Amino acid sequence: MGTMGLTASLFPSLTVAQNSHGENKPHRIICLDYGSATTLIELGLPPVGVIAAQRWNFWVREPKLPNSVADIGQDLVINLEAVSRLKPDLIIMTPYTTSHKPVLEKIAPIEIIPLFDGQSQPLSASREITRKLGVLLGMEAEAADYLKSFETKLAAARDLVAKRNYPSLTLLNFMDARHARVYGVNSLYQNVMDEVGLINAWTGETNYWGFQTIGLERLASEASEDMELVVFEPLMDDIKPTLEKSPLWKHLPSVQNDRFALLPPVMMFGMLPSAERFLSLILSHLESRYS
């Protein structure tokens, strides 16, 4: 089967433009999610537009978003004029944003990437989506190189973790001063931890996206003495001073025993670039404290 036949079988809804070499592949791509956008950046083909580009540093930060990438609105309120002006030849979305499909497919072909579909784990889905994007974009070699680099970093992390005696981790994003998302089964974070041998202290149920929203009271009642508590930014301005005054927070074993860290943001619903960033930040922190 030729490249076009394989592309059609993987992405049956897609028709694409010819490039200067006579190869049929999209090159002006709009992403309705950060995960696909980070992947395209790593492959060397940044999107021309992405949702909530102005919030990139707030939620993603790395890889850096090129200044050339346009903001096309929010995930639930797309700026159709901005999309049209960009003249995309492909729009990538997830099941979360498929409500926009009837309108956007009048502008450009749509491809839906099933990252959090309830059928596969996000890390394995990210690997497969990266391979398929490589085929679709005529960048099979770039995708293969990136996947090889990612697996090499996983293997190195696995070797490091095996030599250490790191504590179990509880991973949080605060929603407000009394409620946080805690990540576990079905999350990208959990997938990465499982691959390298890190232990998640949170074993409670999680939702479709791999987290559960809990109150500070529950965190206090279930926190173990020896766990490392990791909170990821963003942290709203009013949350930190409120927590510092909270008896529940101040009496958490992790806080009392200096086993608490506030780390830069990671796109929790991202793909391989987010998995790589998560692993790098976590291991850098653990090495600085426990090596």
* Res. 20: pLDDT tops 90: no
Average pLDDT over residues 113-126: 89
pLDDT in tens, 165-175: 999 999 999 99
Give the containing element (helix H, strand E) for 171: strand 169-174
Task: Respond yes or no on whether the N-terminal peptide bond of residue 273 is cis (omega within 30° of 0).
Answer: no
Average pLDDT over residues 101-119: 92
pLDDT in tens, 46-64: 999 999 999 999 999 999 9
Average pLDDT over residues 195-209: 95
Asked whether the beta carbons of 56 and 63 are under 8 A apart, the reply is no
pLDDT in tens, 230-252: 999 999 888 989 998 999 999 99
Query: 18 or 196: whose pLDDT is higher?
Result: 196
Task: Give the chain's count of helices (H) and strands (E).
Answer: 13, 10
Task: Give the chain's domains with CATH numbers.
Answer: 3-141 (3.40.50.1980), 165-290 (3.40.50.1980)
Q: What is the pTM of this model?
A: 0.90
Average pLDDT over residues 178-188: 96
User: For residues 61 and 285, what is the distance between their CA atoms, to the nearest angstrom?
Assistant: 18
Share of the chain above pLDDT 70, in %: 92
**Which tokens sit at 285?**
């922190």
Largest CA distance in the chain: 66
Other beta carbons within 10 Å of 54: 9
User: For residues 63 and 39, what is the distance between their CA atoms, to the nearest angstrom?
Assistant: 9
User: For residues 246 and 178, what is the distance between their CA atoms, to the nearest angstrom?
Assistant: 9
4: pLDDT confidence band, cut at 50, 70 and 90?
very low
What average pLDDT is seen over the chain?
Answer: 91
Asked whether the beta carbons of 221 and 248 are under 8 A apart, the reply is no
* Res. 11: pLDDT tops 60: no
Amino acid at 37: A
Four-point Cα dihedral 120, 191, 62, 281, nearest 10? 180
The predicted pLDDT at position 116 comes to 83
The predicted pLDDT at position 15 comes to 39
Share of the chain above pLDDT 90, in %: 82
Q: Shortest CA distance to 137 belongs to which of 1, 273, 7? A: 7
Question: 3-state secondary structure string, 214-276?
Answer: EEHHHHHHHCCCCCEEEEECCCCCCHHHHHHHCHHHHCCHHHHCCCEEEECCCCCCCCHHHHH
The predicted pLDDT at position 203 comes to 92
Q: Shortest CA distance to 209 belongs to which of 185, 174, 229? A: 185
Q: Which 3 state secondary structure label does DSSP give 164? A: coil
Q: Shortest CA distance to 150 belongs to which of 209, 192, 94? A: 192
Q: Determine which of 11-25, 91-105, 202-216 has the lowest per-residue pLDDT on average.
A: 11-25
Q: Which 3 state secondary structure label does DSSP give 8? A: helix
The predicted pLDDT at position 17 comes to 40
* Res. 120: pLDDT tops 90: no
The predicted pLDDT at position 22 comes to 41
pLDDT in tens, 142-166: 999 999 999 999 999 999 999 999 9
pLDDT in tens, 258-286: 999 999 999 999 999 999 999 999 999 99
The predicted pLDDT at position 115 comes to 87
Q: Which 3 state secondary structure label does DSSP give 30? A: strand
